[in-house]
Each structure stands twice: as C-alpha cells, then as structure tokens.
Structure 1
Amino acid sequence: MRIDILVAEIGSTTTVVNAFNHIGTPCPEFIGQGQAPTSVLDGDVTIGLKGAIEDLKKNLNVDDLSYGEMLATSSAAGGLRMTVHGLVYDMTVRAAKEAALGAGGIIKMVTSGKLRRTDLKKIREIKPNIILIAGGVDYGERETALYNMEQIATLGLNVPVIYAGNIENQEEVAEICNDAGIKLYLVDNVYPKIDILNIEPTRKVIQDVFEEHIVHAPGMSTVREMVTGPIIPTPGSVMEAAKLLKEELGDLVIFDVGGATTDVHSVTEGSEEINKILISPEPYAKRTVEGDLGVFVNLKHIVEKIGLEELKKDFPNAEQLIENAKPIPETEEEKRFIERLTKEAVLTSLERHAGRLRHIYGPTGKKTVAEGKDLTNIKYIIGTGGALTRLPKRVEILESIKENRKGLELYPGNSAQILIDNHYIFASLGVLSKKYPQEALILMKKSLKIN
C-alpha cells in the first residue's frame, strides 16, 4: 500500500505513526494509526518507530507499506532541554521562558542577573541542548547579558546559543562566540521595550535549532535518515496546530495529558476588560508544561496530590493499581483510575496556566488587578494526547473545568464548547502544517468533528 505522508510522533512512553493520503488535494484523509512503546531504554528509538509502523500495517490490514514523505515530532529522552538566562525575572527572563516553552523546550534552569559559580556548575550538570540568553530592552542595560555570555563561553560546552537580548550587544556576543567556537543564533529581542513581548522570532529559531543540531535520544540519527521532512519538538508541534486552528475557530485552549507531562496551550488575546487591568503582558500563544503531572511516568506525583487515602474511597485497591500501572490502561477499573488522575492533571494544570484577579488595598481604597493569562474569552476547550482522546469520560473530564471556577480565576466560561481530537493527530498535524497548512486545517476539523 502506498501512503502520501507518514508522521511519526516519538513520545516519552509511546511512539505513534499517523498515515495521511490525498495530501495536496481539497480532500486530505487520515487513514490510520499505529503505535508501540517508545524504545529509548533499548538504546534505539527506531525499534519503537518500526514497531508502530508494523502496528499500522496490521490496523490497515496490509502486508507492504511505502510512503512518499515522512515527518516527525519528538519528546523522547526528556525532550528539548534548555537553560534560560536573563536580566530581570519578571521581564526579559519571563519573556525568554515563554518563547522556549512555546517552541517545545523543557526548561531545566532559569536565572536572572549575573551568573554565579554555582549556576555555571549546574549548567554543566544539566547538559542542555540549547542555551538561551536574553536581557535588557533595546538600547538599555548591556553588561549583564555580555557577562553571562562570557561566562558560558568558558564552559567549553558544544551547545548552540540563542541570543535574544538588547540588540546593541549583538556584535560583541558574536565575537565572544566566534572566539569560543560556539554556534550562535542572533534573534530579535524577546523584550524590546517595557511591557512588550516579542517571542515569535525566538520560538521559530528554537525549533530550527532543534532540527539542525539535536540528536537527543539514542537512534535519533537513524530517524533523521528515515525522515524526509522536518523533525520538531512534539509540544511545539501542538502549538503550531493550536495557532492555525485559532485563526479558523477563534480563541481556544488545548489540554494534552501524557504519560510524563501535562501541557496546556492557549491562543487568545483575552478580554478587553481584563487587558485594561493586567499588570504585566502575556503572550498571545502561551504554553505551560507540568513535569509532575503525567499519568504513567509521573503517576505517583498525581497520587500524592490527591492523597492515597482519598483515592482509596473510590479505589480500595489503589496501591495495586499504582504498582501495576501500564502505559495504556486495559481493564475498566484501570481506565476509571486513570480518568481520576487525568481529571486532577487537567484541573491542576489549568490552575497553573490561567491568571487570576487580585485585590490591592491602598490609600485610595480597593483596586482590582489581573495577573497571568486571561482565558475568559476562550470559545473552545480541546482535548488531545492519549488520555483525553481515548478515555471513556474524556468529555466529562474537560467539562469539569467549567465547574471549577471559584470567582477570581480567569478561567473559560460556561459557554466554552468541548472538542476532542478524536483521531489523536494534533501533534502530527502541527508538523504537517509547516508544508501543508490548508490540508492540516481540514484534517483538524475532521478530527474535531466540525463540518
């Protein structure tokens, strides 16, 4: 059987392949999916990839399978490890962090101000895939970013550096990196003026650097040989899908509950009313990643958050369910248990992602301000990832978001509509949209069951 495009999604627990035909026509079609456990621990991720292709062949009931193009996303082996270094945490550091997370980076370290000896030691231990340096508005403070660049140059790490700070420093930063043999990417400042975020140029370069430089899991070099198109970080790919879909449908938030993390992607400018009282700017497209909220690898963190005794009220054999947890639950009881954990992951990640109102009392009396991401204008709450596309109570889990408002949180309202990525293909469609945006959009709407 001949397939137009195969997209591989190499996750931390599962490798999925999605097959698409009629790409380049007005009627693109999703024709099937295969999956297998990710084989990082076997020393070669291609074992899992080939297993997923074999599963696809079985699901399509074919013996032979060939494809015209293969694209890929990956979050295996800890994803895209990054360290971020800026000037003031609430300004340039936060802007750089937003850019890194939106591109699919896993932030392992964030510093503000001049790097200390202990900071440099920690960077060595982390062994980041990319280092991002920011700091200073354009034509503002210069010394901190230059000092940090010089310190990082002394580490002798063979790691690409992205500089997204005060543009006055670009020539000097280039000289430092040239002398130290560091691959440098110069980008527009992520915080060019007070209260202005400019994170999209940095976000794009992070994904380019990932593809060009990162072989971040055993066997990824072999995958690179198999893949004919781009490889981008899986979370960055979901963000690409979210931004494309927002243009078509309106403001939305996507929850992606996985085995290792829970990611939340929101694309909204927020309401005019809240924007007037917002104390610091928020990105139009925002991603948060919760490394402690996974329903397989990090299952025990969610159990601790709920409380074992509380879980035992509904699941008397909770300890056994925890001990025998599988990447994909099989029995009805296992599914019910993972549904409970998934609901906790969704509500906790929402609480961390969304902003809230705050009352400040001063000489003139009470004043209300807003901080964080405003989700009150959200029209669609979308579920993707294994848990929220496969569990029987996936819609009820997302509906609980609307029941969880207590008053001050900037959560989606009751009118927000629940949609499910029924084909579990959003991550694949994000990377597909790089070359085939219209086809990706049509396939997304089909998966969401939107005419």
Structure 2
Amino acid sequence: MNAYLLLDFGSTYTKLTAVDIEKEEILATAKDITTIETDIMVGFNNAYENLMQKLEGKEINFVKKLACSSAAGGLKMIAIGLVPDLTAEAAKRAALGAGARVLNVYSYELTNKEVEEIKNSNLDIILLAGGTDGGNKDCIIHNAKMLAKHGVTLPIVVAGNKIANDEISEIFDNAGMFYRVTDNVMPKLNVLNVEPAREEIRQIFMKRIVEAKGMSNAENFISGILMPTPAAVLKAARVLSEGTDKEDGLGDLVVVDIGGATTDIHSIADGEPSKPGVTLRGLQEPFAKRTVEGDLGMRYSAISLWEAAGTKKVQKYLCEPSIDIEACCKYRAENIKMVPKTDEEIKFDEAMAKVATDLAMERHVGYIESMYTPMGVIYTQTGKDLLDLKCLIGTGGVLIHSDNPGTILKAGTFNMEDPTHLKPQNPDCYIDKTYILSAMGLLAEDYPEKAIRIMKKYLIKV
C-alpha cells in the first residue's frame, strides 16, 4: 500500500499522520513530545514507533515523507517599513502569512539602538520594506546601510520600493550579507502584494533555518521540511476554501487554532462590505490572512490572557464566582504541561478557550464606524467583514478534547453586545478532531484535490 507520511515538528508535540493516497483515508496518527533540546529524532522515533504499532499487519510503503515545523519557537522575524500603518503593517502581514512569529515591527529610519536591539534578538529572518514603487526610497536605503554598518548576519528579504533595489543590493553585496530581493509588499498606496515575499521567506526557511535549528538529522529521513507549521495550516485552509477545478471548496472560512502560547486566526475571505452604503478605509486586507495573539494562550500565556480579558470577562464564561481566576491562570502558566482532569479544571480551561476565541476574533475581524457629515451619517469599514462567513473550523488541544467544542467556537461569533465588530453571524462549526490541518497543507502541495476530500471527510461538524 502506497502512503504519505506527514509530519509536524511542533513546539510541544511531534505529530505524525499516515495517509492512504489511493483510498484517501487517514491510516493512523501518533504524537510524542518534541525533543529539540537534545535530538529532534528522539521524539520523532517515539512517535514513529507508536504509529507503526497502530499499522501492524499492514504493508505500508511510504512513497513520500513531508514535514512542517514550529519547533524551537518556529520562524521568528521582524518587519521593517516606512509608515507604521502602511508599509510596516504590510511587511508584518506578509511575515505572518508566511507562518512567522513577528517579534517586532520597526518604522521610519532605524536608530543605532534599534539595530543593536535587532542584532541581540533571537531572530531567524528580517523583512525589509518601505515606500511604494517610485515613492520614498531614502528610508529603506538608510535602513539597509544601518543593517550593513552594524554587521547584521541574518538573512534579509528585501520587499520595498523597487527603485531602491539596485543600491540596496550593492550595499549588501559589499558587506557580504545574505539577502533576497522580491516584489514590493505595497507597490501602490493601500494595495498589498504579499505573496512574493511569503514565498521568499518560505524558501529561506527551508534552506537555512531548518539546519540552524538542528533539524538536519530529520532531513536524512524525510523528503523535506516544506514550510513553517502555521503556513501549512493556512495552505490547508485556503485550498479547502477555494477548491480546485476538479473539487469544490467550502467557500469563505476561518480557522481558530488555540494553543498553549498563542491563539492563531486564519481567514480565507475577501472581507468586502456585506451591507450597502458602507465604504472601505485603510490598508487592503489579504484574502488569506493570519493573525497571531501572543497574549492569548492556554498555558505559557495564561496570565497575559487574564490581564487582557479582565476577571469579569473570564467570569462571564466561567459562571463560577467562587473560583480564584488569577490563581488558576498563574498555576497554568507555571505548569505548562498540566492536563485538566477534574470537572472544575475542565470548565476553567474551556472558559479560557472561549475568552481566547472571543478576543482573537475581535482583533482579527474588521469593524464599522459611523461618521456624521452635512450629508448625514456615513459608515466606514476598516478590516474584513466576516458577517456572512460560512464555516468556522477549530483546532488545538482544548477544542479537540472538549465535549462542547461548538460552544467555544460560538464565543467568536457576532454578538449584539458588540455590534461594531464584524464577526461571523451564523457559521457552520467544524472541529479538526484528528489534527490533520497541517498535514493536509503538506499533502495539498502534491495532491490538492485529495487533501480537500480528506478534510471534508474528517473534519467533524458540531
């Protein structure tokens, strides 16, 4: 039997998925703790042994072994742009869409202090942008000179004003720096063009970052590490939404991924106004958009989740006034491998998950504002309108192990108490019960139709 072995070297767990290509079935899944501190193959071998036990009695020929990774913190980047709300924001969105964790965003001309801060950060890649094509080129050239002057050795993706590219290439060549030049992330005012930068980031991740993270041992076993894990999830979401010529997709959708450190939201939708008489303002939204909320996690970020939400909001979902919310969040932050066992612990985790979903969706979607003019009231929309979104898909441990995952996802839907945020009104809710989204993002590189059909088969409607 020919099969694909799809791997996710996660920050906490290494997850394996065996797929029968012909029958389009999940043969088995397995996971074990990721062992990045010693040898990543130790955790993999444990998971692989578990997987093969489940496949005992079947003759399996793994024709391909593909992987994604967020081990050792995943892909960590900074973005540099010109204006905070424009090219700097465009660079940030390109980095997030590539599956990166954006540690900081810098605007205008870099100072000596800022470049030293960049040098001392635990980074993988720098995305250097700034200026529309034909616009301001002085800022991005200044920033290139500053990075060269201070001896920054990180890979740099240049995605700014194209008329500055020749001079930047000369600066970096003379300094012996590793860089790649690609299309401007914002060639015209408020117009995004993030895909070329995303692809360059992915290529650098595959060629250089994997080796730097001590994953070269894994490269001997697998066919290749294709992308960061969040990029694989975004790829799966996009192909499931859009479909192909041969297989229909599900239409506009959102994936809510609740983890121990972050809550990630992926939306696949143009987000145009759904109501008449509403005008768009601000930076164009990417069709495939990812946001990462580093203060909304179930373990590492439990305290910051409580701080961001406040006691009243957690209590609204918990409905247990006697529980010390601050103490429970602190306990989880100090015991990151805690697995809830009692009813009280489970209820508290689910209340945290509802808060994370609520706030992460609020930050991801667009919002409506009213303005009074001599002609009457006008309404403007900033960000994406997801009111008519069809599908809401949940993944992450707290959702997968919950007996009531639908109630957690519903916390991220439209609420008349907050009518200005354009959250989905009546979506169908699905759960990625078998952790297959990242695996299907990998499979979609070779077999998009098969990946879509497998996701339709294994995503569970709630």
State the TM-score, normalized to the length of structure 2.
0.89
Quickly say closer, same or farther: Cα 1:216–1:254, change in 2 above 3 A: farther
Deviation at 1:425, TM superposition (A): 0.5
Structure 2 match to 1:20 = 19
- In the alignment, is the contact (CA less than 8 A) between 1:263 and 1:289 conserved in 2? yes
Out of 422-431 and 398-407, give the one that drifted further. Answer: 398-407
Structure 2 match to 1:443 = 454
* Mapping of residues 310-389 of structure 1, within 5 Å: 310=315, 313=320, 316=323, 319=327, 322=332, 326=337, 328-362=339-373, 364-389=375-400
- Quick one: percent identity of the two aligned structures? 38
1:287 partner letter: R
Is residue 292 of structure 1 aligned with residue 295 of structure 2? yes
Deviation at 1:317, TM superposition (A): 7.4
Deviation at 1:279, TM superposition (A): 0.6
Is residue 180 of structure 1 aligned with residue 175 of structure 2? yes
Out of 295-304 and 252-261, give the one that drifted further. Answer: 295-304
2:311 partner letter: G
Deviation at 1:163, TM superposition (A): 0.8
- In the alignment, is the contact (CA less than 8 A) between 2:273 and 2:385 conserved in 1? no
Alignment partner of 1:55 out of 50, 59, 73:
50
Out of 322-331 and 343-352, give the one that drifted further. Answer: 322-331
1:421-450 CA distance string (max 9 Å, x none): 222100111122112212211111112258
CA distance in 1, matches of 2:355, 2:51: 32
Structure 1 match to 2:245 = none
Out of 147-156 and 59-68, give the one that drifted further. Answer: 59-68
1:234-285 CA distance string (max 9 Å, x none): 1111111111111111111110111221100001112444695111221111
Out of 176-185 and 49-58, give the one that drifted further. Answer: 49-58
CA distance in 1, matches of 2:94, 2:72: 21
CA distance in 2, matches of 1:125, 1:184: 19
CA distance in 2, matches of 1:138, 1:47: 49
1:75-125 CA distance string (max 9 Å, x none): 122211111111111111111111110110111111111111121011011
1:255 partner letter: V
- In the alignment, is the contact (CA less than 8 A) between 2:274 and 2:385 conserved in 1? no
Structure 1 match to 2:254 = 253
Deviation at 1:45, TM superposition (A): 2.3
Deviation at 1:230, TM superposition (A): 3.4
Alignment partner of 1:307 out of 311, 318, 323:
311
Alignment partner of 1:227 out of 203, 222, 228:
222
- In the alignment, is the contact (CA less than 8 A) between 1:257 and 1:345 conserved in 2? yes
The gaps in structure 2 that reach 5 residues or longer are: 243-248
1:3-49 CA distance string (max 9 Å, x none): 6211111222222111112x2x3x32111111112223x33322222
CA RMSD, 1 decimal: 2.5
Out of 203-212 and 223-232, give the one that drifted further. Answer: 223-232
1:407 partner letter: P
- In the alignment, is the contact (CA less than 8 A) between 1:359 and 1:366 conserved in 2? yes
Q: SS where residue 295 of structure 2 aligns? A: coil
The gaps in structure 1 that reach 5 residues or longer are: none
2:3 partner letter: D
Deviation at 1:360, TM superposition (A): 2.5
Structure 2 match to 1:265 = 266
Out of 155-164 and 99-108, give the one that drifted further. Answer: 155-164
Q: SS where residue 446 of structure 1 aligns? A: helix
Is residue 95 of structure 1 aligned with residue 90 of structure 2? yes
Deviation at 1:413, TM superposition (A): 1.3
Quickly say closer, same or farther: Cα 1:89–1:356, change in 2 above 3 A: same
Deviation at 1:169, TM superposition (A): 1.5
1:336-362 CA distance string (max 9 Å, x none): 322111111111101111111112345
State the TM-score, normalized to the length of structure 1.
0.91
Quickly say closer, same or farther: Cα 1:115–1:71, change in 2 above 3 A: same
Is residue 398 of structure 1 aligned with residue 405 of structure 2? no
Deviation at 1:403, TM superposition (A): 5.5
Deviation at 1:296, TM superposition (A): 2.3
- In the alignment, is the contact (CA less than 8 A) between 1:306 and 1:344 conserved in 2? no
After the TM superposition, list the runs of 4 or more consecutive aligned residues in structure 1 that deviate by more than 6 angstroms: 62-66
CA distance in 2, matches of 1:307, 1:316: 11
Deviation at 1:326, TM superposition (A): 3.0
CA distance in 2, matches of 1:382, 1:66: 32
